[in-house]
Structure 1
């Protein structure tokens, strides 16, 4: 056989030019995929929008029924309402109690001190002008001034032991009712009985438990200073024990007639369950014309 030249190989088909996404063209599936990507970039500024967290689709507008259901779910339940009301009641009660305590422990003292100071000044002015004379006094009328130097007490003494007319006004009251009638200081024998608050309303007898035997107790009247010396104390006794006001109070240790003074007040503090009693014995009767006794000038 004769020789012949070799045949040239067939030229390969030209490759398809890559499209905009760098994918080779020519495939229908590839073109569709590239088209979807381009559409996604246009819608999201070049980025495919991220799905909501948790894979849930964003909610659309709520229906009226759903909106009402959710509004009811947000309202507090009956238990929450009750607990809120109870809490507000406790707060209100606490505020009212605080106001009451402030009134009792502070304001009553402020008012009583002012009333007692005014009564003392009025009494001293009347003495200076000669408007009062020794003798019988009307219930609630001031007639003397009590001095307890150790306790820095200077308080008017009024006739009677009525709470509203005497004791609550910051004054000390003289036992003058028939059943509990006691002597006056100028009498030559007897027991001058006095009552006063220990707490609130001026509390003139709050610290009489701190008196010691020999401490002076002075009663000042229009004409005379009557000086007593504290003799003894009875820390606790029932309110019914009126024998402490006897002309010769045996529980004080006195055995014979004399000129005595008895101070009575409530105990323990802030209660009226029992009474505390302090007794004294007169050691000096000094006319005002001779000046103040030593107990008031030291």
Structure 2
């Protein structure tokens, strides 16, 4: 009788241990599932919701600029708050990824010398876009790339939260303005926050890039594409753009250039993709 009792007690202990282990596994599975749902929601917010917000706000800004130009008004400087948290991607050249703020290459002047609107502004040849430089972080121009169906505002500066995360293209301080001799250099997100430059890798030689400023249109023609360079290759935004990493990539003669920079590969900030265009005479 004693032996039977002893066997029953031992079996119950084993079942108790198995039950405790099963409960532990269940709790662990619940935690993993909850974490997965949270991560999925964050991804949806970052990839989809921030895009939707930024695109809507950017298009509204384009409309406001065009209405102001039609009425002969100067663009308003108020831009509103950033649509969301800063993205990890950083398309700026001359800046450590994720550092934020203005890159070293853009703090001082560089050394040395969409579809189109239904009614295009007057064409403009070489020459400054305006007598006065726009205020920092102010949207003052509209970039159009007919091949990509891209229409996006251009703001002064390349700060992530104040400019790029709004879905704008950011103008590198110290580089030329539209129509000027030199390099009108822009940065834009390739993924998240409007991702205006997501498909610039599809641009080919001969494609047109249009820049509207206060009712004047500057037409640039794509000449060269640098598919990959480092984030510190500041030569790509120099007045005469030429890679310091790949010396054979770029130009050697002064001219009126436009440069688009963004991250590559997609969803990373490891390298930079560069598109160069020249002002159409």
TM-score w.r.t. the length of structure 2 is 0.71
1:79 aligns with 2:21: yes
Alignment of 1:44-55 (within 5 A): none
Stretches of structure 2 lacking an aligned partner (at least 5 in a row): 1-7, 76-129, 244-248
Task: Give distance in 2, aligned partners of 1:190 and 1:237.
Answer: 21
* Corresponding position of 1:159: 156
- Check whether the contact 2:203–2:222 (CA below 8 A) recurs between aligned residues: yes
The 2-side partners of 1:185 and 1:123 are apart by 16
Aligned pairs for 1:249-260 within 5 A = 249-251=241-243, 252-260=249-257
1:106 and 1:250 mapped to 2: Cα distance?
35
Query: Which has the larger Rg?
Result: 1
Q: 2:167 aligns with which of 167, 170, 176?
A: 170
Q: Are 1:141 and 2:138 matched, yes or no?
A: yes
Pick 1 or 2: higher relative contact order, CA cutoff 8 A, min separation 6: 2
Per-residue deviation, 1:183: 0.5
| Count of aligned pairs between the two proteins | 211
Deviation at 1:74, TM superposition (A): 8.0
Q: For 1:65-144, list aligned pairs within 5 A.
A: 77-132=19-74, 134=130, 135-144=132-141
Runs of 4 or more above 3 Å deviation: 73-76
Shift of 1:76: 6.8
Per-residue CA distance 1:243-266 (angstroms, 9 max, x = gap)? 101111134542211100000000
SS of residue paired to 1:205: coil
Say which SS state the counterpart of residue 194 (structure 1) adopts.
strand
Once the two structures are TM-superposed, the CA of residue 223 in structure 1 deviates from its matched residue by: 3.4
- TM-score (normalised: structure 1): 0.67
1:88-134, Cα deviation, whole Å (9 max, x unpaired): 01100110111111111111110010110111111112112222184
Match of 2:212 among 211, 220, 223: 220
